[in-house]
Amino acid sequence: MNRKPYSTDLSDDIWDVLQNYIPDEKPGGRPRDTNIREVINGILYVLNNDCSWRKMPDDLLPWQTVYDYYHKWRKNSIWDSLSLILVEYEILDESHLPVVYAQVS
């Protein structure tokens, strides 16, 4: 990582857990050249700083890349698993959980 660290960046321990929930590259497809850890760091930056995608710092991945992964993962329910883990480890606030998992008071 050749950038300044942000307080929202994943620790190595959390990354070790999360990467088990990231889908593999599609067989026969183009090899993935996007750093998925940095994608998650970008998503966490946006969600924890309550900023728009376009306001992401320039030293993170391009906002379009981060948003595309976030959108695809939400659509395919991958973000459901990731966000539950991130809430469990207190990396992400419960307000960012999918509605299905929100607790009813």
What's the confidence (pLDDT) of residue 99? 58
Q: Residue 82 domain-assigned?
A: yes
**Tally of domains in the chain:** 1
Q: What count of other Cβ atoms lies within 10 Å of the Cβ of residue 20? A: 8
Instruction: Domain of residue 48: give its range.
Output: 12-22+33-101
- pLDDT tens, per residue, the chain with 105 residues: 688 999 999 999 999 999 999 988 888 888 889 999 999 999 999 999 999 999 999 999 999 999 999 999 999 999 999 999 999 998 888 777 765 555 554
Q: Residue 3 domain-assigned?
A: no
